[in-house]
Every structure is written in structure tokens, then in C-alpha cells.
């Protein structure tokens, strides 16, 4: 449970950090992790991007069972200065952003049940760790996530959170990347999902559109099913550079632009064929 602040000051990131309770996981919990880990290990080569796979390979501590966040953080910290902290499920937006701005990724500690192997609407520890941590091993992506945290605090002040949350959704969670070998995945919501890992690359149903910052921030998303649209970047540098400018004027412009439904195409979309 979150620790209640003693005074009426605004909550800070530290208030929500809990102990992971690693010793409390049972054999069944670790077995579920291993099933998920082995299943995705077979599927991701050739589908996830090189940077994800490199990060994944360096996280050997995650192969045996649910990793201890402290040990995992030591590996991650040496690579990019990020650490994983345990939080009780979803935390207030400001708290989430404060963590990212301090290069701490808030991860939940619960693991799905055997009957939830295929789809979850709320992140569990497998999604949070195997989805997010491998890319945080990459220096540019690591900096992007920190910048996102700072940007989140600003978006809260400017009343622009809905727009900025879409950027997170369509990059960090469901991003695709174009490489010389073809389309690849870097989004955490995809790499932690057995079904979506093949669907996003192979199904004729979803749209795949070249990344465009304002277009992304206008696009609604669905949390209840496989995505109807994916946005495709060329590399992490493109993402970092496109999001570098001050968003204040973008948010002003967005107030006059209509939202776009997930599967809808609009003028100037660069559709990427598979
Ligand atoms: N540049 C953005 C701003 O001024 C912050 C940001 C950086 C947002 C990276 C998202 C990703 O608000
Ligand atoms: Fe996530």
C-alpha cells in the first residue's frame, strides 16, 4: 500500500516506493515468469530491434525467475544510470513522471496468473521488466525516457497530459522501428505480448504510419485490444530529436486540431507497407 504522507504537501515519488518483496514470490510465480520469458525469447529474435535484443541479452539475471529489482538495477545502473523501483500498481501521474525524471523506472511487483498468459490490461512485473528494461540499457532511449518524465511534469502544468500520454503510448509502449532488415519492434507493450509480437509485424489489419510528432499526439488509443495503428521511427535519435523542442507551442496548436481515431488515415500520412 502507498505510504501516506504525514503532512498535506503534494506526494513525492519516494512516498510510493515499496519493497519488492522478492522473498515472498512462490515457486508458481517464478514458473509463470519462466514460461513467459522462454516463450518471448523464442519469438523476439528477428522481430524485436537489435537494441532491444542487445539489452535483453545483457540482462541474464532475468532468465531464472522474477528478478530481484536490486540486482537488476545494478546491471542497468552500470549501463545507463537507471534503476528500477517497486510501486503498488498505478501511481499518480506526477509521481510517475518524477520517477522517470530521476532515471527511476517504477515497476509493479505482481505477476499475472496462469490464465492471463495472453493479454493483460494492467501491467504486471513481466511487462514492466521484460518490456521496459532492455531498451533502458540503450543510452539514447534512456535519455528519452528521462526527458519524457520532465516533459510530463510540464504537460501536467499546461493541462496537456492527454496529448503527451499518446506519445508514450505510441513510442515507449507500442513503437515500431524501420531497419535495413525490415520492420522491428521496440515498444514494451508489444515485446511483452506473445500475440502482438507477431500481429504488429505480420497482420494486414493494423496501419503502420511513419512517426510524426503532432500526428501521434492527436491520435487516440485503445487499451482493450491489439492496436489498430503503429507509428514507425527510423532510430532512437530521430525520436529524441523530434521531442527535444519545447512543446508549449505544440500544445497550443493541438488545441485547434481535432483528435484522430486509432485506425483512421489522414492527409500526409506516410503509410508503411509490410
Ligand atoms: N520537449 C518536451 C517539452 O518541452 C519534453 C519531452 C521530451 C516530451 C521527450 C517527451 C519526450 O515538453
Ligand atoms: Fe508499460
Reported as a single tens digit per residue, the pLDDT across 173-216 is 999 999 999 999 999 999 999 999 999 999 999 999 999 999 99
268 CA → ligand 2 middle, Å: 29
Tell me what percent of the residues of the chain surpass a pLDDT of 90: 89
Residues 37-52 have a mean pLDDT of 96
| 109 has a pLDDT exceeding 50 | yes
Share of the chain above pLDDT 70, in %: 97
User: Cell 524485436, residue?
Assistant: 48
| Closest-lying ligand 1 atom to the alpha carbon of residue 167 | 10
Q: Is the pLDDT of residue 7 over 60?
A: no
> Quick check: 225 pLDDT over 70?
yes
User: Mean pLDDT across the chain, nearest whole number?
Assistant: 94
Q: Which atom of ligand 1 is nearest to the CA of 244?
A: 1
- Decide if pLDDT at 111 tops 70: yes
**Ligand 1 pocket list (CB less than 6 A):** 144, 147-148, 151, 154, 167, 243-247
At 63, the pLDDT band (50, 70, 90 cuts) reads confident
Ligand 1: atom nearest CA of 246 is: 4
What per-residue confidence (pLDDT) applies to 102?
A: 97
Ligand nearest to the CA of 121: 2
Q: How far is the CA of 174 from the centre of ligand 2 (A)?
A: 9
What is the reported pLDDT for 138? 98
Name the residues annotated as catalytic: 127, 132, 173, 192
Which range among 12-26, 176-190, 230-244, 251-265 shows the weakest confidence by mean pLDDT?
12-26
The residue to mutate among 101, 150, 157, 251, having the most atoms of ligand 1 within 8 angstroms of its beta carbon, is 150
**pLDDT tens-digit readout, 77-104:** 999 999 999 998 889 999 999 999 999 9
Comparing 47-61, 129-143, 226-240, 245-259, the range with the smallest average pLDDT is: 47-61
- CA 190–ligand 2 middle distance (angstroms): 9
C-alpha cell at 229: 495503428
Give the ligand whose atoms come closest to the C-alpha of residue 146: 1
Between 90 and 160, the higher pLDDT residue: 160
Task: Write out the three cell numbers for 29.
Answer: 510465480
| Ligand with smallest separation from the Cα of 174 | 2
pLDDT of 6 reads: 52
CB within 5 A of ion ligand 2: which residues? 123, 188
pLDDT score for 1: 47
Amino acid at each position: 500500500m502507498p505510504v501516506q504522507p504525514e503532512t498535506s504537501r503534494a506526494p513525492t515519488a519516494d512516498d510510493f516506493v515499496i519493497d519488492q518483496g522478492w522473498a515472498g514470490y512462490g515457486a508458481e510465480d517464478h514458473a509463470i515468469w519462466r514460461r513467459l520469458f522462454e516463450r518471448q525469447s523464442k519469438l523476439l529474435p528477428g522481430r524485436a530491434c537489435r537494441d532491444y535484443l542487445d539489452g535483453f541479452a545483457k540482462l541474464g539475471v532475468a532468465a531464472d525467475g522474477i528478478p530481484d529489482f536490486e540486482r537488476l538495477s545494478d546491471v542497468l545502473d552500470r549501463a545507463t544510470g537507471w534503476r528500477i523501483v517497486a510501486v503498488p500498481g498505478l501511481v499518480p501521474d506526477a509521481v510517475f513522471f518524477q520517477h522517470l525524471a530521476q532515471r527511476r523506472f517504477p515497476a509493479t511487483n505482481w505477476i499475472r496468473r496462469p490464465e492471463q498468459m495472453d493479454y493483460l490490461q494492467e501491467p504486471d512485473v513481466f511487462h514492466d521488466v521484460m518490456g521496459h528494461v532492455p531498451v533502458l540499457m540503450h543510452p539514447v532511449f534512456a535519455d528519452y525516457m528521462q526527458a519524457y518524465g520532465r516533459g510530463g511534469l510540464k504537460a501536467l502544468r499546461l493541462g496537456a497530459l492527454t496529448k503527451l500520454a499518446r506519445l508514450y503510448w505510441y513510442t515507449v509502449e507500442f513503437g515500431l522501428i524501420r531497419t535495413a532488415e525490415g520492420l522491428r519492434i521496440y515498444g514494451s507493450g508489444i515485446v511483452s505480448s506473445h500475440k502482438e509480437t507477431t500481429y504488429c509485424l505480420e497482420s494486414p489489419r493494423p496501419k503502420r504510419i511513419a512517426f510524426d510528432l503532432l500526428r501521434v499526439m492527436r491520435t487516440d488509443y485503445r487499451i482493450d485490444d491489439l492496436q489498430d495503428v503503429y507509428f514507425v521511427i527510423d532510430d532512437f535519435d530521430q525520436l529524441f530529436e523530434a521531442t527535444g523542442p519545447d512543446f508549449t507551442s505544440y500544445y497550443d496548436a493541438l488545441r485547434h486540431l481535432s483528435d484522430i481515431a486509432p485506425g483512421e488515415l489522414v492527409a500526409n500520412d506516410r503509410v508503411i507497407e509490410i
